[in-house]
Amino acid sequence: IRGHIGDDDPLRTEFYTRADPDARGDAIGHTAWSFMHAEEVDDAIRDRLADLWDERVCHVKVHPEDKAELKDFYWFIRSDKFSAAWWLPRLVEALTLNRELNTNGRIGEQLAAAADELPRVALDALTMLLAPAETPRRDNYDLRTRSLAPVIAAALKTSEPELQDDARSLMNHMGERGEIDLKRRVQAILRANSEGDATTPPVRDRW
């Protein structure tokens, strides 16, 4: 990613051929983690890491048995060096390729912040992350407390009936799973954002 070697470098080729997928995932995740601790990252270096990620995703599409390469994508998000327009669609893509992908309780705030810009993709990502009945404890707390209400509210604020219906479906589903105050939290966000706008869609539930 510093531009010192090319894609055909022998050591690079050997690493992505011989190292096990878990080790490859550790390496790319650690690199993204290092971005989080850097005050500034050159655009060229960031873009090369982005290109490397896309390369590895293409590899996993052909070799799904290597899905462990994608396990630490949350560090790309948490680093705050990539735009939501870049990472959010790739999060959905990674979840599609690896349904066991965890976020280790580290992206709740980022997902909530991205929802106003990309409400459909944010809702899709959150729905996939919360789909397992036994969501890992750290992910479960982070996503439910930091992402759930803001992402649903962002979807309800749109003028897209299908997106609004999907948001209500997730709200009802999570209500059945114990989020009994979710409607109140969503309404509070809508009120704060709309300042009494009469066009704000109603929050309906069935629990």
| Single pTM value for the model | 0.90
Q: What's the pLDDT at 207?
A: 36
**What integer pLDDT is reported at residue 68 of this predicted model?**
96
DSSP string over the chain: --SSS-TT-HHHHHHHHHS-HHHHHHHHHHHHHHHHT-S---HHHHHHHHHHHHHHHHHHHH-GGGGGGGTTTHHHHHTT-S-HHHHHHHHHHHHHH-TT---TT--HHHHHHHTTTSHHHHHHHHHHHT-STT--HHHHHHIIIIIHHHHHHHHHTSS-HHHHHHHHHHHHHHHHTT-TTHHHHHHHHHHHHHSS-TTSPP-----
Residue ranges of the chain whose pLDDT lies below 70: 136, 195-207
How much is the pLDDT for 202?
54
